[in-house]
Structure 1
Amino acid sequence: MTDPETLNRIPRRPWRWLPWLVASQLLVALAWWKASWLLGLPLMVASHALFMVPVFLPNSRFYAPVLSRLSGAAPHVWLTIDDGPSDETPAVLDLLDRYQAKATFFMVGERALARPDLVAQVLARGHDLGNHSHSHPQTRFWRLGPATMGREISACQQALAQVAGAPPRWYRSVVGMTNPFVAPALKRLGLTRVGWSARGFDGVNCTPQSVLERLRPDLQAGAIVLLHEGAAHGHNLAIIEAVLQELQAKGLRAELPDAPAPIADAPSSPVRPAPTAA
């Protein structure tokens, strides 16, 4: 589906930002000494922003390489579903089967250990897994130190390897936040960081229609689509089905990024929604 070299974005130099940090602070100190705080203070604020803002940009390559789109013009997208497994996982799998779609489930390690049967169902039905941290510390992930960050990522990797029989190759940061200490763990574990190019903010309070309206312009060939399961608002299943219907209407296939190219280009049969009881 996509050139393997394009997919292989394991960090090679995870500490490459450090010399730039040191140089920037030396420049600030020099400015403060030569021109007083009137220049030194603005430079200090700007230098801190330079190193802080990329943490909150999901597709920033400042601290680690990231895969944010698939290469090529083939009519396919990569569906990614975060935060499972959950009580909704079996229904999500049924939807994907109905629309002949494949997805990568970025799972939380603790949840995978608690629901190994759901992990097994995901794999048995032809999908794959990604690392989404061990405990999903959403409010503080951005500020985790090197030891804690390393434990979050490595513990999830161990949990998924234990449950699935093999470690995943993909990683996604919690809420997309990637601080300087993510890349060393990714290099050690051989993980490729995955961002996204289509996001509907379905993990927060929303409606299926509002999510689809935000996603629709970005549902194009090569898109990496961010979706969720198990959110408290209860709309994730309706959102996922709406996205699958939109992909079908646009002639786009939901495939895994390293899936082999189809032998023939014969279009698949349209999928009709399952009938509801009268």
Structure 2
Amino acid sequence: MNAPGTPRRWTPTPLIGGAAAVHAGALASLLAAPATWPWAAGGVIASHLALTAAGLWPRSALLGHNWTTLPEAAGARIAITIDDGPDPDVTPRVLDLLDAHRARATFFCIGERARAYPRIVEAIVARGHAVENHSQRHRHNFSLMGPGAMRREIDAAQTTLGDIAGVAPLFFRAPAGLRNPFLEPVLCALGLHLASWTRRGFDTRTGDASLVARRLLHGFAARDILLVHDGHAAKDREGAPVVLAALDTVLRAAADRGLATVTLREAIVG
């Protein structure tokens, strides 16, 4: 596999190749015997349903390579990944928490939010963390975009984040983890690699930090990629972002088990 940052040739996965074959076979069948159209249509519909299901499964590799755990060479290390920021209230407090634990994290930032709060992005990098691509606008219809619109959205974030952070992102995470078959060819052309997670805490929906921490620690092990949020963070009854207490619990558990933290680019690129 090419290193992140290097454009590479796109190779269809078996699912995508199979779907293309179904479409070609359906067309040939219609040309040879028009009466077979119900079977042809059924095959095409089934292939589209399979592609859609794969896109709705964030941890799937059916549409292209997807980092869901760190490589074996990472050893006794884990990756904390933090999405949807920067946020002027939450992100600085997350950075202080990471400093207190001497931990490093990967921040998947939204381009427009980075443009609004560039000093926070600069602080993320200055304090030893990595900034990666979470799209320019975090559109809810991202997984419905065609290849041109998808590339413009991702490339805009590459430019925005690269200009502010001083180094271009190497990894991309789709909004909500949802995607379609057009994403992998776009990432190949831009030299980006898709990264999802081993498990997530659902800390944008749950106002109970202990529950968020339990989700993250269920089956907790070396090489995990954990997902929390500094943007759109849910708050507890006292109004505190649950990510703070949940992340504190996770980092204490990691230290107890002798697991160090590492950014994705450190673990995967080296």
Q: TM-score, normalised to structure 2's length? A: 0.84
1:114-153 Cα distance to aligned partner (Å, 9 max, x none): 111001110111001100000001x211101112111110
1:54-100 Cα distance to aligned partner (Å, 9 max, x none): 11121222332211111227221011100110021110000001111
Provide the C-alpha distance between the structure 2 equivalents of 1:175 and 1:198, rounded to a whole number of angstroms. 13
3-state SS of the aligned residue for 2:228?
strand
3-state SS of the aligned residue for 1:218?
coil
Give, in angstroms, the shift of residue 6 of structure 1: 8.8
What is the aligned partner in structure 2 of residue 229 from structure 1? Answer: 230
Trace 1:1-278 onto structure 2 (pairs within 5 A): 8=4, 12-14=8-10, 16=12, 20-28=18-26, 33=33, 36=36, 39-40=39-40, 42-72=42-72, 74-87=75-88, 88-137=90-139, 139-234=140-235, 235-259=242-266
**8 Å contact kept, 1:14–1:64:** no
Provide the C-alpha distance between the structure 2 equivalents of 1:228 and 1:12, rounded to a whole number of angstroms. 30
**8 Å contact kept, 2:12–2:64:** no
Give, in angstroms, the shift of residue 195 of structure 1: 1.3
Identity %: 35
**8 Å contact kept, 1:82–1:228:** yes
175-184 or 190-199, which deviates more? 175-184
Give, in angstroms, the shift of residue 222 of structure 1: 0.5
| Distance change (3 Å), C-alpha of 1:47 and 1:35 | farther
Return 5+ residue gaps in structure 1 as ranges: 261-278
Provide the C-alpha distance between the structure 1 equivalents of 2:12 and 2:96, rounded to a whole number of angstroms. 44
Provide the C-alpha distance between the structure 1 equivalents of 2:205 and 2:223, rounded to a whole number of angstroms. 25
3-state SS of the aligned residue for 1:64?
coil
Provide the C-alpha distance between the structure 2 equivalents of 1:39 and 1:259, rounded to a whole number of angstroms. 50
| Distance change (3 Å), C-alpha of 1:58 and 1:29 | same
**Counterpart residue identity of residue 58, structure 2:** P
3-state SS of the aligned residue for 2:218?
helix
156-165 or 51-60, which deviates more? 51-60
1:140-174 Cα distance to aligned partner (Å, 9 max, x none): 11101112111110000000111112211111111
What is the aligned partner in structure 2 of residue 271 from structure 1? Answer: none
Question: What is the Cα-based RMSD across aligned positions, in Å?
Answer: 2.5
